Amino acid sequence: MNPEHAPIIQMKNIEKHFGSVIALAGVSVDVFPGECHCLLGDNGAGKSTFIKTMSGVHQPTHGEILFEGHPMHFADPRDAIEAGIATVHQHLAMIPLMSVSRNFFMGNEPVKKVGPIQLFDHDYANKVTMEEMKKMGINLRGPDQAVGTLSGGERQTVAIARAVHFGAKVLILDEPTSALGVRQTANVLATIDKVRKQGIAVVFITHNVRHALAVGDRFTVLNRGQTLGTAQRGQITPEELQDLMAGGQEMVELEGSLGGTV
Amino acid sequence: MSESAQNTAVTDERIKEISPLRKALIRPELGGMVGTVAVFTFFLLFAFDSGMFNAQGMMNWSVVSAQFMIIAVGACLLMIAGEFDLSVGSMIGFSGMMIAIFSVTLAWPVWMAIIVTFAMALAIGALNGWIVIRTGLPSFIVTLAFLFILRGFTIFLPQVIERKTIIGGVKDAAEGDWLAPIFGGKILQGFFQWMGDAGIIAVFERGTRQGQPVVDGVPMLIVWAIVLIIFGHVLLTKTKFGNWIFASGGDAEAARNSGVPVNRVKILMFMFTAFCATIFAVCQVMEFGSAGADRGLLKEFEAIIAVVIGGALLTGGYGSVLGAALGALIFGVVQQGLFFAGVESSLFRVFLGVILLGAVILNTYIRRIITGER
């Protein structure tokens, strides 16, 4: 993290109520360009609600979102995407039956004019897809290879590459590694590192402390709809993070009974 | 040097070289192409002398195939977008009946009857789509309801208005109309007359039409089929909107996340299916000169079968307009070919069931190849 940079997105005292349920009870997080900000929390901690607020799916009940210093009100996800906030979902990112190239440009199809009609510029799409995949270290048989033939980690990488190619300034990754094997996880983490070095802010949601510590610059832990603070890299140990996520005391007792292996 | 080094560098030892056969298999049109070749080989061998391949015979199965093609194009794009329309057959009957009621009973000019009918059909298609989107119900159920609703009106309206279930006299009403020939006319008449004069095709030897060729032109029905196939194919494979059709049917949620207007795509495809059904209906009414309450019966299933034979997946997201057109061609050639070959026509249904089952099994297998599922 670079302290003289201004935060690209500031979430101030965000509250979100669903009827009588308080999902978020005043959460504040700043995200800086070029940092990987890990958002940790156990199931039900409010991580999903929080990132959905950031990506325009939910509107906050109270609180303020500042994007590049200006207050923002996202009416729907398209507003957030246009502003440069891209979300990569764990499962709902790619369409297996479609080719990598068609997936890559889905919703952003390049067109060329042939007379009065606009046609999908397949040549351009194929070329860009192959280049971008090469950059990310994925070997395609061809741009027409179906996404269904890629591994889970490769699909995440394609989705990340796509978001970056279309100008994302903030990249929200919703548990990108939770369903992946060791090797694929490593690939996705390496991709996150590459993206961060390009100056893009990465918000990395996970409940795996080791994945977070592998790439994270700062760590915010959510518990029962509240933040327990943001820690810098190097200022916190994996054990402390784990305890924060689980809400402290009970976890210590549990861990004792399990021999400290969790 | 660097080029070859690059190439060896990108070879992954775990990606098996895929054989050209497997590569060809994942083209959705393959089944349709093989089927077309097989069907033509069969009838050339066993029914060549039956008159199936002279000018009249060819026109006979071409017209039947073109009818299937027109509705198959609509059903194909809708199926790829992830939805069904079971109301196609009823829509054919309903549209035809509306044209007859407007032009004969109400004595409107035929062009006005046609335009108003198209507008009504598009509105009903949009309503189908809107209900499916708003309720989240399977399109199967929603359009099944419309199958009965539209058919019911198609029988009810002429009985109340004219006390019969067939309304004739459309031909007289269409006399001199500027729009009607676009659906009921013929083209290339000069060319066919020339072929008749030159002895390439047979001519009538006696009667009032002596000297005229037995086939005097290409019906507009066939022209519409070709135009719709080309339009559908280009739309699906060469445009931005085509990518949205694939995406909407492949995974609507993922498509929405990427900014594809899935609801709009699906509703437009329901409207296009209704449009195709109405083209079919107008051509038929102009040809017969009448509209009957039972027109278009079971056409929705025939359209879906043609699309499936053409390689589309029932679950959406994958398929081809050219494949669907070949499926329709197989359908038409076999239906008429069995008649020429003197085979009991009920056996056509047996053939249909068998080929449908075979096509679905093949498609499921191909899907596994594409998505790498095991």
Q: Is residue A115 part of a domain?
A: no
Q: Which residues contact B96 (CB under 8 A, 6 or more apart)?
A: B281, B282, B284, B285, B291, B292, B295, B296
Q: What is the pLDDT of residue B8?
A: 40
As a whole number, mean pLDDT of residues B319-337 equals 93
What 3-state DSSP class applies to A171? strand
CA–CA separation, B188 and B196 (whole Å): 12
Report yes or no on B134 lying in a domain: yes
The CA distance from B165 to the nearest CA of chain A, in Å, is: 44
Contact: B254, A148; criterion CB under 8 Å:
no
| Nearest residue in chain B measured CA to CA from A102 | B243
In a domain, A18, yes or no: yes
Contact B243 A102 (CB under 8 A): yes
Q: Per-residue pLDDT averaged across B219-223, rounded?
A: 94
Report which residue type is found at B161. Answer: I
| Helices B55-80, B262-288: inter-axial angle, 10-degree rounding | 160
Q: Which of A92, A95, A154 to mutate to test the interface with B (most CBs of B within 10 A)?
A: A95
Least CA distance to A159: which residue of chain B?
B258
Cα of A253 to nearest chain B Cα, Å: 42
CA–CA min distance A194, chain B (Å): 20
Locate the chain A residue with the closest alpha carbon to B242.
Answer: A120
Residue B371, min C-alpha distance to chain A (Å): 4
The residues, any chain, with a CB within 8 Å of residue A192's CB and separated by 6 or more, are: A36, A160, A173, A176, A202, A204, A215
d(CA A187, CA B179): 63
In sequence order, what are the beta bridge partners of A223? A226
Residue B369 has pLDDT above 90, yes or no: no
Task: Determine, for residues A78 and B367 on separate chains, whether the beta-carbon distance falls below 8 Å.
Answer: no
Give kind and range of the element (H or E) at residue A177.
none
pLDDT band, very low/low/confident/very high, at B4 (cuts 50, 70, 90): very low
Phi-psi label, residue A205: left if phi above 0, alpha if psi -120 to 50, beta otherwise:
beta
> Considering the domain boundaries, does residue A235 fall inside one?
yes
Q: Looking at beta carbons, which residues of chain A come within 8 Å of B18? A: 141
ipTM at complex level: 0.82
- Is residue A246 assigned to a domain? yes
Give the closest of A95, A117, A118 to B254, CB-based: A95
Instruction: Identify the weakest region by mean pLDDT among B74-88, B104-118, B185-199, B286-300.
Output: B185-199
Which residue among B15, B243, B250 sits closest to A141, beta carbon to beta carbon? B15
CA distance B36 to B144: 31
In a domain, A203, yes or no: yes
Whether B259 sits inside 8 A of A119 (CB atoms) is no
* Minimal Cβ distance to A120: which of B238, B251, B370: B238
Q: Which residues of A touch B371 (CB under 8 A)?
A: 96-97, 146, 148-149
Q: Where are any strands of DSSP class E within A89-225?
A: 111-114, 117-120, 170-174, 201-206, 218-223
In a domain, B290, yes or no: yes
Q: Do A97 and B250 touch (CB under 8 A)?
A: yes
Q: Give the chain A residue whose CA is nearest to the CA of B319.
A: A97
Task: With respect to residue B12, please indicate whether it lies within any of the assigned structural domains.
Answer: no
Q: What is the per-residue pLDDT across B348-360, written as a single tens digit (0 to 9) for each?
A: 888 888 988 988 8
| 3-class DSSP string for B245-303 | HHHHHHCHHHHHHCCCCHHHHHHHHHHHHHHHHHHHHHHHHHHHCCEECCCCCCHHHHH
- Closest CB to A146: pick one of B15, B238, B370: B370
In chain A, which residues have pLDDT < 50? 1-3
Count CB-CB contacts under 10 A for residue A148: 20
> Least CA distance to B246: which residue of chain A?
A98
Residue B372: band (very low, low, confident or very high) from pLDDT cuts 50, 70, 90: low
Query: Shortest Cα distance from B144 to chain A (angstroms)?
Result: 28
Q: Does the residue A17 lie in any domain?
A: yes
Q: How many helices (H) and strands (E) does chain A have?
A: 9, 12
Q: Helix, strand, coil proportions of chain A in percent (round to 5)?
A: 35, 30, 35
- For residue A227, being part of any structural domain is answered with yes
CATH assignment of the domain containing B256? 1.10.3470
Lowest-pLDDT choice from A198-202, B6-10, B48-52, B235-239: B6-10
Q: Are B47 and B207 in contact (CB under 8 A)?
A: no
The phi-psi region of residue B325 (left if phi > 0; otherwise alpha if psi is between -120 and 50; otherwise beta) is alpha
Picking from B257, B315, B318 by the largest number of A CB atoms within 10 A of its own CB, the best residue to mutate is B257
Instruction: Measure CA B333 to chain center.
Output: 14
pLDDT grade for B243, boundaries at 50, 70 and 90: very high
Predicted pLDDT at B19: 66
Minimal C-alpha gap between A177 and chain B (Å): 18
Contacts of B20 in chain A (CB under 8 A): none
Q: Cβ contact (<8 Å) for B246 and A95?
A: yes
Contacting residues of B for A105, CB less than 8 Å apart: 243
The sign of the dihedral angle between the CA atoms of B135, B136, B137, B139 is: positive
The whole-number pLDDT of residue A184 equals 81
* Residue from A51, A87, A97 whose CB has the most chain B CBs within 10 Å, to mutate: A97
Which residues span the domain enclosing B294?
Answer: 31-40+55-371
DSSP B320: -
Q: How many CB atoms lie within 10 A of CB A28?
A: 14
Cβ contact, residue pair A118, B240, below 8 Å: yes
Least confident of A163-167, B107-111, B302-306: A163-167
CA separation, residue A76 to residues A28, A172, A186 (Å): 21, 16, 33
pLDDT band at B6 (very low <50, low <70, confident <90, very high): very low
Closest C-alpha among A141, A216, A168, A96 to residue B254: A96
Which residue numbers of B have CB closer than 8 Å to A's CBs? 10-12, 15, 18, 26, 234, 238-240, 242-244, 246-247, 250-251, 253-255, 257-260, 313, 317-318, 367, 370-373
**CB-CB neighbors (< 8 A) of B258 in chain A:** 93, 106-108
Q: What is the CA radius of gyration of chain A?
A: 19
Q: Which residues of B191-218 are buried (b: 16+ CB within 10 A; e: fewer)?
A: ebbebbeeeebebeeeeeeeebbbbbbb
Cβ pair B87, B281 in contact under 8 A: no
In a domain, B48, yes or no: no
How many Å from the N-terminal Cα to the C-terminal Cα in chain A? 29
Contact (CB, 8 A) for A171 and A51: no
Q: What is the pLDDT of residue A183?
A: 81
Q: Give the closest-approach CA distance of B343 to chain A in angstroms.
A: 41
The Cα A69–Cα A5 span in angstroms is 12
Are B246 and A94 in contact (CB < 8 Å)?
A: no
Query: Could you give the number of structural domains in chain B?
Result: 1
Q: Residue A26's domain spans which residues?
A: 9-93+188-257
Q: Please tell me which residue of chain B has the smallest CA distance to A148.
A: B371
Residues in chain A with CB shorter than 8 Å from the CB of B234 are 119
Total domain count, chain A? 1
CB A221 within 8 A of CB A59: no
* B239 CB-contact burial (10 Å; exposed 0-12 / middle 13-18 / buried 19+): middle
Which residues does B84 contact at the CB level (< 8 Å), separation at least 6? B75, B78, B139, B140, B143, B304
Which pLDDT value is given to residue A3?
47
Residue at B23 is within a domain: no
Is B10 within a domain?
no
∠ at Cα A68 (A62, A70), nearest 5°? 50
Strand A36-41 versus strand A85-88 pairing type? unpaired
B11, B234, B371 member nearest A96 (Cβ): B371
Minimum distance, in Å, between the CA of residue B188 and any CA atom of chain A: 28
Distance set, CA B354 to CA A65, A102, B197 (Å) = 61, 34, 44
- Put simply, the answer to whether B247 touches A92 (Cβ < 8 Å) is no
